[in-house]
Amino acid sequence: MKKKIAIIGSGIAGLTLASLLQTNPNFEFVVYEKEDILNLDEGFGVQLSVNSVSILNKFGFHQLNKNEKYHPSKLDFYSINYNKICDLDLTTFNSESAKYTTLKRSTLVKFLKEKLFSNSIMFGKKINNIKQINGKINISFIDGSSDKIDYLIVSDGVFSSTKSIIEKKVLKPIYSGATAIRAQIKITDISNINSNNISLIMGSDAHLALYPINQKKEFNLVCIIRKKSEGNDSIKTILENTILKENKNLVNLFKGDLKLWPIYTSNKPIKSIYKNVLYIGDAFYTFLPTLAQGASQAIESANEIFELISNNHLEIQSEYFKNRVERTNLINKRSKFNYFGFHISNPLLKILRNKLLKRLVKNKKFIQSYLGKIYK
């Protein structure tokens, strides 16, 4: 008999798992999404390293219109006054079929959605309660409907309220103390940097990442400021009191529509009290955005579940949890180290960091160990 799987949340993790399940006729699945439409976050960008691109290629990502994605070959490091420090060759991680990719988040979500049968996603659905009956999971929704399934996969993002309902305790992410400001920018707004590459501009307690997201050369800008946003501070005030103090020319990058949000990270991953309930993506663990691995890890975790269920593994939950925690710890350590390194404010330490960075990016052994293990 076909195994039935319910996926909660139609973000990158949930839709990746759905796309993978659709390739295997032994499964029946439904994605339950609380919103009434897909969240397409029009315009903002996302970076995908080769580890996730190779998974997406299993169901046709390589066929996505070439104009809608971009393959940067270098990551350029700059100090806040646009002095280039060094660059990292991203092509060393690429394979013949999978390349480091940047694109609009909406392009990725549309690609994932278009792969699915039209009735695969049910909108306006929020879990009210779950019960385990004879090894199956019975889920009931706020609208009064219910479903009986073999596996429940929760991918409802950083603020996962489903997790608290299932585990019957309050589980909340932690505020990191930093704020993200995002913008879409045009090539005409960019000067002093190489617009073909990913640019990482490091200031005191702040950094900016800027990269093309398609062949039209539209750009994504994300600025992470290590400062609590005071309740009423406007985005303009936050920028004026931080990075624009260090380089007023950066103002050219912030002309368009700006979006601000506080950055949250997870406390620690949890294993469900139910053996056939599993968490993936940000609902499993939300990383700091300083290694650009959030989406890639959402995709990887979905693939791990797919492989374990497809292979009828006897201990799916334990095996998944053990491997995912190991991977999460590795990426978390690197993300936190980058967070510290990108935001150094002491002038002497900055000089030291830049000298070290220049040497490290050319050290193949170090790069393979620091990044290669993640972009495997």
Q: Quickly count: other Cβ atoms within 10 Å of residue 166's Cβ.
A: 24
Q: Is 212 in the site for ligand FAD (CB under 6 A)?
A: no
Q: Rounded CA gap, 37 and 176, in Å?
A: 29
Contact 197, 74 (CB under 8 A): yes
Please pick, from the candidates 293, 328, 332, 335, the single residue that binds ligand FAD as defined by CB under 6 A. 293
Least gap, CB of 254 to ligand FAD (angstroms): 15
Q: Which stretch binds ligand FAD (CB under 6 A): 32-40, 56-64, 271-279, 318-326?
A: 32-40
Least gap, CB of 85 to ligand FAD (angstroms): 21
Least gap, CB of 128 to ligand FAD (angstroms): 10
Q: Is 50 in the site for ligand FAD (CB under 6 A)?
A: no
All residues at 6 or more sequence positions from 268 whose CB lies less than 8 Å from its CB, including other chains: 285
Please pick, from the candidates 5, 6, 7, 13, the single residue that binds ligand FAD as defined by CB under 6 A. 13
Q: Give the interface size with ligand FAD as a residue count (CB under 6 A).
A: 33
All residues at 6 or more sequence positions from 41 whose CB lies less than 8 Å from its CB, including other chains: 105, 106, 109
Q: Is 289 in the site for ligand FAD (CB under 6 A)?
A: yes
- DSSP-assigned letter for residue 254: G
Residue 9 or 173: the one with the smaller Cβ distance to ligand FAD is: 9
Beta bridge partners of residue 225, listed in sequence order? 179, 206
Q: Rounded CA gap, 39 and 221, in Å?
A: 20
Residue 33 or 87: the one with the smaller Cβ distance to ligand FAD is: 33
SS3 content of the chain, % helix, strand, coil (to 5): 35, 25, 35
Q: Is 210 in the site for ligand FAD (CB under 6 A)?
A: no
Q: Rounded CA gap, 2 and 21, in Å?
A: 12
Interaction mask 110-139, ligand FAD, x per CB under 6 A:
----------------x-------------
Q: Is 222 in the site for ligand FAD (CB under 6 A)?
A: yes
Question: Residue 5: in which H helix or E strand, if any?
Answer: strand 3-8
DSSP string, 53-113: HHHHGGGTGGGS-GGGEE---EEEEEETTS-EEEEEEGGGG--SS---EEEEHHHHHHHHH
Least gap, CB of 186 to ligand FAD (angstroms): 19
Give, as ranges, the residues between 166 and 185 that touch ligand FAD (CB under 6 A): 180
Q: Which stretch binds ligand FAD (CB under 6 A): 22-30, 131-139, 186-194, 280-288?
A: 280-288
Least gap, CB of 365 to ligand FAD (angstroms): 26
User: What angle do helix axes 316-342 and 294-310 make, rounded to 10 degrees?
Assistant: 170
Q: Rounded CA gap, 310 and 327, in Å?
A: 21
Q: Which stretch binds ligand FAD (CB under 6 A): 10-18, 188-196, 197-205, 246-254?
A: 10-18
Q: Which stretch binds ligand FAD (CB under 6 A): 157-165, 188-196, 229-237, 341-349?
A: 157-165
Positions in the binding site for ligand FAD (CB under 6 A): 8-14, 32-35, 39, 46-47, 126, 155-157, 161-162, 180, 222, 263, 281-283, 289, 292-296, 298
